[in-house]
Amino acid sequence: MDGLLRTEVPASTLVIAIDPGKAVNRVWLTTGERGLIGEPVSLPVLRDGIEELERLIAESRVGGPPVIGMEETGALHRAWATEIQRRWPGSLRLFAPSETTAARAQLGSRRFKTDDRDCAAMVWLLRQGAGRAAEPDAVEALLGTVRHRRQLVDARKKLQQRLHDQLNALCPGLSSPACQGRALLIDSPTGQAALACAVAFTGRAPSARSLLARAPGRMTEATAAFWAQRWKRLLAPPVDAELRAQRLGRDLRRWQDLQADIAVCETQLEALLAQTPGQVLTSLPGVAVVRAAAFSAFTLPIERWPTPEHLYSATGLAPASYQSSTITRRGKIARTGMAEHRDALMGIAWGLSLYAPAFAARNTQLTARGMRPMQARVALARHACRLCWRLLQTQQPYDDRRYARARRAGGDGVPAKPLDGAH
C-alpha cells in the first residue's frame, strides 16, 4: 500500500506546468506560498523558448531545483522534454492527457478545456507528488526504435495483402491455395521467386529453372517444378497484364525495402537492449530480442511498478476488482493502457507457452479446463508478467526447473535476492 501514497511537494518549491503545442507551449510558474508567479506565457517551440523559460526561472528567485510537469502529447512534447532533462536533470514529470482530463474534472472544468486549465490541472497534480519521471536516454531510444519497427511491420502486413491481391489478378488462382494444396507465402523464397517471375513474364507461366534463378533463398527443384506446373494450369493473364506487372514490380521493391528496414531496426534493438536491464528477458525461452525489447521499452525503469500486479494492471489485462466490506467482485478486462505494452506481454506469454516446459504444461492444463486459446494466453500472461517483473528486479536469468518448483510451492520462480550460479 505504500506505493499508492505520494509525497507532496513543499510549498516553497517552484512548480512549472507546460502544455505543449505545435508552435508554442503554454507555461505556468507557481509556488504554494506565492501562487502564480507573473502571468502565464506562451513560449515558442525553439531554442528561444527554452532560453526564455530559463530566464523566467532565474527571475522567480525561488531557491532549489524546480519541479516541471509536461503533458505527453504524441511527439509535440519530446523536443522540450529532452532539453529540460539536459538543463534540469531529474526535474521533469510527465502526464498522460487522460490524467490532466481527470484532474480538470476534480477541479470542476472537465467540459471546458483550455491550455490554461490544463496547466492548472498539472500544477494541482504536481503539488500532490504525481507525475511520471522521464525515461533514461537508453530506454527512450529503445522505445523510439520499438515503435518505429511496429509501424514498419504494420505497413508490411498491408503491403503483403496487396501483393497477394495483385498477383491473383495477374495470375488468376496462383495465390489462392485453399483448393490447390499448397500456400504461397510472400515472405518465403518461393513467394519472392513467384512474384519476380510474374513481373518478368507479365503473368505468363515461367519454367522451373526461371523460378530457381529468381529465388533469393533455398528452393528445391521439386518445389520449383510444382509451382511451374500449377502456373501452366492457370487462366490467361488479363489484357492489361503489362501495366499490372509494372505496378506489382514497384510494390515488390517497396516490400523488399521494408524487409531491409525492419532488419536494420532489429539490429538497432539488439544494441540498445544490451544497454538496459531488459537484456535479462532474452534468457526466457521463446523470447528473443524483439519481444524482450518491446516489453522492456514500455516497462523500464522497473522501479515505476512497486509490485507485479501494478505492472500487470498497466497492460490492461488485469480484470477490474471491487472490494468493500464483505463484498468482493471481479469484472472484465478493461484493456486500458497502451496496446503496444499489452501486445508485448501477450507475445512473451505466447513464446513461453511454446518453448518453456513449465508454461507449456500450464497451457495444457488451462485448455483441458475448456479455455479457448486466447483465454489461456491471457491467463499465462499474468504469470509471465510476474516472472518478467522479478527478472528485471533481480537481473537473474530464467531457470525453467526452478520456476516449476516455485510454481508448485506457490511462488513466482525467481529468487528475491541474487543467487550464485543462476542456472
CA–CA dist 414, 403 (Å, integer): 7
Q: What is the sign of the dihedral through the CA atoms of 388, 394, 398 and 402?
A: negative
Rounded to an integer, what is the distance from CA 201 to the centroid of its chain? 42
Q: Which has more pLDDT, 341 or 173? A: 341
CA–CA dist 404, 362 (Å, integer): 10
Question: pLDDT digits over 56-106, tens only?
Answer: 999 999 989 999 999 988 788 889 999 999 999 999 999 988 899 999 999
In the predicted model, what is the mean pLDDT of residues 370-396?
94
| Residue appearing with cell numbers 531554442 | 47
- Structure confidence at residue 322 as a pLDDT band (50, 70, 90): low
Mean pLDDT score of the chain: 89
Above pLDDT 70, what percent of the chain?
A: 90
Take residue 239 and report the three cell numbers written for it.
Answer: 489484357
Other residues' Cβ atoms within 10 Å of the Cβ of residue 154: 10
Q: Decide if 245 contacts 199 (C-beta within 8 A).
A: yes
| pTM attached to this predicted model | 0.81
In the predicted model, what is the mean pLDDT of residues 373-384?
93
Q: ω into residue 301 within 30 of 0, thus cis?
A: yes
Question: pLDDT digits over 271-288, tens only?
Answer: 999 999 999 999 999 999
pLDDT at 373 over 50: yes
pLDDT value for 418: 37
pLDDT at 1 over 60: no
What are the start-end ranges of the H helices in 20-136? 47-60, 78-87, 97-106, 115-127
Residue 31 pairs in a beta bridge with 35
